[in-house]
Amino acid sequence: MLKLIALLFFISFSSFAQTPSGNPPKDANHAQMQGNDEAAPKAAISGEKALNEFKFIAANVELEPIRFLPVHHNGRLKPLDTLAREVMMFVNGSYSRFSVPAVQAYLALTRYEGAGFVEIVEVRDVQLRQELGFLKEKRFFSLAELQSTQLGAMSEPIQKKQEQNAKSLTAHDKAVLEVLQQASLLSEVISGQHIMQSADYTFLDNNHGAQNSPNGMNSDVQAQIPKFFQSLSQPGEVQKQQAQALISIVRSQKTPELFQHSLEKMETEVFFNNAQFFLWASILSLVFGFCFFMPLFKNKISFRTTTFLYAIPLAILVTGLAFRIYITRFAPVTNMYSTMIWVSFGVLVFSLLLFVLYKNYVLPGLSLIASGLMLMLTYQIPLILSPDLDPIVAVLRNNFWLSTHVTTITISYAAFTIAMVLGNTALVRLWLYRDNEAFFKEYSHYAYRMIQLGCFLLTMGIILGGIWADYSWGRFWGWDPKETWALIADLGFLAIMHSRLIGWTTSFSLLAWSPVAYLLVVMAWYGVNFVLAAGLHSYGFSSGGATAMAIFVVLQILLLVAGFARLRMLRASSSKI
């Protein structure tokens, strides 16, 4: 059914594209990735020339008010601003590669007749670039370039394989499919079909679907979009007029009740997109964190200054989280991205607590840097850690449990993160100073406190999870991989805490083992969803970053081994003296 609608859209679009408008009609074949020679227009434009012309058109697009246009995509209403950002991120790997906002780039693609020659599709797999006959250094390709390759033929057996068993796809298969999807999304955008489908959501409302036209589509929206496209090459005032007209037509559609709250949030979401709260929180945390180690500042920082330095990134983070909650209407702990932000927040809060209790001025520095780095990581890899605000799977649709069980579990990771940072600091410090005993004694106490807090929160979180599972799946505990790994992480830290009672862990080894036990947290947090990909907690299965994570694990273990060796060496040499 959807396909049929898409087809109808396409036909209607083609018909208006051929109306005399002063511009030659676009090559309709762009919409299909056939890889045949017919698709290439007669007069090819060089990539560079196309890029310049494209940029010129993009710079001419009026951002307001069109970026507030409500569009329907992935189960919610979002402003065109968000949709354009998501499209550019997927196709191009960046929100603003051409130093223009995503909306301008998106709309310029629909307008520019040479759009098929703009080198915009990011082929991320180096091997695939070579297989397609490109230089491996070249990263971005135009649609026309991709159409001249064997991509279409390459993907056919893979698509068959995917239909039979999606699990059997190799990394290379996935890379081929991804480029194919990128290319077809781009051609949809260029043809205008993409915005058409997204802006006309009349068909979603079952009861009123057929009101405007027999095929369930809204003829007003269909008529206005071409008018708006044509205005894009006209002065800004005309553009604004047409955009405003389009917005009011789109907003007057029948909207499913579930979406209605979103209509009021278009401006808010655009503001949230562009304010980049989490990036600012990250930068400020890093800068403030380093202040604690700068010879110039570090002696001048008072108790009050420290709380102030905490307050700023915390306030920004909280604001950002508040925006997320306001827009989505659920707790911000539904995917890897949002939990990492939540944990960064926890690191700041718990380390502030430690600071207030113990007045140690190294702790805030370490924790601010740790929190800043974690936020920076989420900002840097949006393709793996998706920041989208799209709706959650059925089982998570319970705000009470989401905001008790999940938040408790994940905030416990924050306490463990601080213990891990302290542990790694100790392991590194061994190589810088000879006398570490006083440091170990003091910091192992902080780490112990954090482990205690973490175990408390994790245990409570597990129990809350058990109650939720009992309530909605019918069993308190079912050895599901996610719950099992949470238990393993808990057991790991509990073992450290208990072995301190009988002297199996000393102040140094408590610090040294904390980062190792943290690897269990990493497994529970990241590994179950990204590596094991099994079990009932199927809301977060994803992939990517496995290699980086493996390197991290190996480095962490090497650091531990090296630390113990170094300590032995130091103790041996000191006992000789």
Partner 1 sequence: MSEIIKKLNQNKFFKFASSVRLAVPLMLILGVCVAYGTIIESNYNAEYAAMAIYKSTWFGLLIILLWINIFAATISRIPFKQHHTGFVITHIGLLTLLIGGFITNSNGVDGQLVIPEKQTSSSVTLPHLMLGYQFDGSPSPQVIKFKKTLSAQNESDLKGLNESLGHLFTVKSYIPFAKIEKEFVESTQPEDQGVALSFILKSNFFNVNEWLHSESNPSMKMGPATIKIVKVDDLSQPMLLRSAVHKVEKRTVNSTSTTKSSQAAFLILTDLKDPKKVKKINISELQKQKVSVDGIQISLSKLYQHAVVSENKVTENPNPTVANPAIEFFIEKNGKKLREVLYAKFAGFSLNKDGAFGYRFAFEAKDIEAVPTSPHGGSGAPSTMEVAPTSDAASADMLTGAQAAMKGDNTIIFSVDPKEKSKARVTLIKNSQVVQTEILNEGQSLQTPWMGMKIFLGSVRSKATESIVATPINPEKSQQLPPSAMLIATTGSPSQEFWLAEGEQKQIQIAGKSAVVYFGRQSIELPFELKLEKFSKIDYPGTATPMSYESLVQIGKTGIIQKISMNEPLKLDGFTVYQASYSITPEQTLSIFSVNQDPGRPLKYAGSLILGLGIIIITLMRSRVWKNYLKRNVKNA
In the complex, the smallest distance separating the C-beta of residue 5 from partner 1, rounded to whole angstroms, is 10
Nearest-5° Cα angle at 289, 285 to 292: 155
Q: Which residues face 141 on adjacent strands?
A: 121
Nearest to 227 by CA among 209, 208, 241, 206: 241
- Cα gap 312→281, rounded to integer Å: 8
Q: Which of 528, 559, 560, 567 binds partner 1 (CB under 8 A)?
A: 528
Distance CA 71, CA 153 (A): 34
Among 318, 467, 516, 546, binds partner 1 (CB under 8 A): 467
Residue 473 binds to partner 1 (criterion: CB under 8 A) = yes
* Total Cβ atoms within 10 A of residue 383: 14
Is-contact 50 98, C-beta < 8 A? no
Bridge partners, 122 (sequence order): 140
Q: Which residues pair with 73 in a beta bridge?
A: 76
Structure tokens that stand for 490 in this block: 């808990």
Pick the closer one to partner 1 by CB: 247 or 528. Answer: 528
Per CB under 8 A, the list member of 204, 279, 318, 384 interacting with partner 1 is: 204
Instruction: Return all residues near 179 (Cβ < 8 A) that are at least 6 apart.
Output: 121, 123, 125, 128, 146, 151
Least Cβ distance, residue 492 to partner 1 (angstroms): 6
- Asked if residue 131 lies in contact with residue 124, where contact means CB atoms within 8 angstroms, the answer is no
Q: Which residues pair with 121 in a beta bridge?
A: 141
- Nearer to partner 1 (CB atom), residue 498 or residue 571: 498
Q: Which of 7, 210, 258, 558 binds partner 1 (CB under 8 A)?
A: 258
Q: Write out the binding residues for partner 1, residues 434-463 only, by CB under 8 A.
A: 452-453, 455-456, 459-460, 463
- Which of 313, 332, 481, 563 touches partner 1 by CB under 8 A? 481
**Which of 262, 282 has the CB closer to partner 1?**
262
Tell the smallest beta-carbon distance from residue 143 to partner 1 (Å): 26
Q: Scan residues 227-256 and list those touching partner 1 (CB under 8 A).
A: 256
Q: In angstroms, what is the minimal distance from the CB of 111 to partner 1?
A: 26
162 binds partner 1 (CB under 8 A): no
> Does 215 engage in binding with partner 1 (CB under 8 A)?
no
Task: Based on the shown chain and the rule CB under 8 A, indicate whether residue 564 belongs to the binding site for partner 1.
Answer: no
Q: Is 537 in the site for partner 1 (CB under 8 A)?
A: no
Residue nearer to partner 1 on the CB measure, 344 or 412:
412
Nearest 5°: phi and psi at 71?
-125, 155
Query: Is residue 394 part of the contact set for partner 1 (CB under 8 A)?
Result: yes
Stretch of residues binding partner 1 (CB under 8 A), selected from 223-231, 283-291, 320-328, 481-489: 481-489
The answer to whether the beta carbons of residues 313 and 270 sit under 8 Å apart is no
Of the residues 21, 52, 470, 557, which one makes contact with partner 1 according to CB under 8 A: 470
Question: Alpha-carbon distance 188 to 32, whole Å?
Answer: 9
Binding status of residue 488 toward partner 1 by CB under 8 A: yes
Cα(366)–Cα(195) distance, rounded to whole angstroms? 46
Per CB under 8 A, does 480 bind partner 1?
yes
> Closest approach of Cβ 324 to partner 1, in Å?
18
Quick note: the x/- pattern for partner 1 over 172-201, rule CB under 8 A, is -----------------------------x
Q: Which of residues 53-92 bind partner 1 (CB under 8 A)?
A: 72, 74-76
3-state SS string over 281-293?
Answer: HHHHHHHHHHHCC
Shortest gap between Cβ of 10 and partner 1 (angstroms)? 17
- 3-class DSSP assignment, residue 478: coil
Whole-angstrom Cα distance, residue 288 to residue 286?
A: 6
Establish if 472 lies at the interface with partner 1 (CB under 8 A). Answer: yes
Nearer to partner 1, 387 or 535 (CB): 535
Size of the residue set binding partner 1 (CB under 8 A): 57
| Residue 184 CB, nearest approach to partner 1 (Å) | 18
Residue 393 binds partner 1, judged by CB under 8 A: yes
Q: Is 357 in the site for partner 1 (CB under 8 A)?
A: yes
Instruction: Determine if 494 is a binding residue for partner 1 (CB under 8 A).
Output: yes
What the block records as the tokens of 391 is 């709706």
- Asked whether position 484 contacts partner 1 by CB under 8 A, the answer is yes
CA separation, residue 436 to residues 108, 408, 565, 569 (Å): 61, 35, 14, 13
Rounded Cα distance between 467 and 474, Å, is: 9
The residue among 11 and 394 lying less far from partner 1, judged by its C-beta, is: 394
State how far the Cα of 231 lies from the Cα of 228, in Å rounded to an integer: 5
Which CB sits closer to partner 1, 167 or 576? 167
Whole-angstrom distance, CA of residue 406 vs CA of residue 216:
41
Q: Measured between alpha carbons, how far is 143 from 374 in angstroms, rounded to an integer?
A: 36
Residue (204 or 312) nearer to partner 1, CB: 204
Distance CA 204, CA 404 (A): 33
Separation of alpha carbons 266 and 464, rounded Å: 35
| Mode of pairing for the β-strands spanning 140-141 and 70-73 | unpaired
Helix, strand or coil for residue 382?
coil
Q: Which residue has the tokens 């068959």?
A: 160
| Binding flag, residue 479, partner 1 (CB under 8 A) | yes
- Residue from 475, 538, 552, 557 binding partner 1 (CB under 8 A): 475
Nearer to partner 1, 318 or 353 (CB): 353
CB of 488 to partner 1, least distance (A): 5
Tell me: does residue 259 bind partner 1 (CB under 8 A): yes
C-alpha–C-alpha distance, residues 425 and 511, integer Å: 9
DSSP assignment of 410-449 equals: HHHHHHHHHHHHHHHHHHHHTTT-S--HHHHHHHHHHHHH
Q: Is 485 in the site for partner 1 (CB under 8 A)?
A: yes
Q: Is 160 in the site for partner 1 (CB under 8 A)?
A: no
Q: What is the nearest approach in angstroms of partner 1 to the Cβ of residue 521?
A: 13
Q: Which stretches of the chain bind partner 1, using CB under 8 A?
A: 72, 74-76, 167, 201, 203-204, 256, 258-259, 357, 391, 393-395, 397-398, 452-453, 455-456, 459-460, 463, 466-467, 470-477, 479-481, 484-485, 487-488, 491-492, 494-495, 498-499, 501-502, 504, 520, 528, 532-535
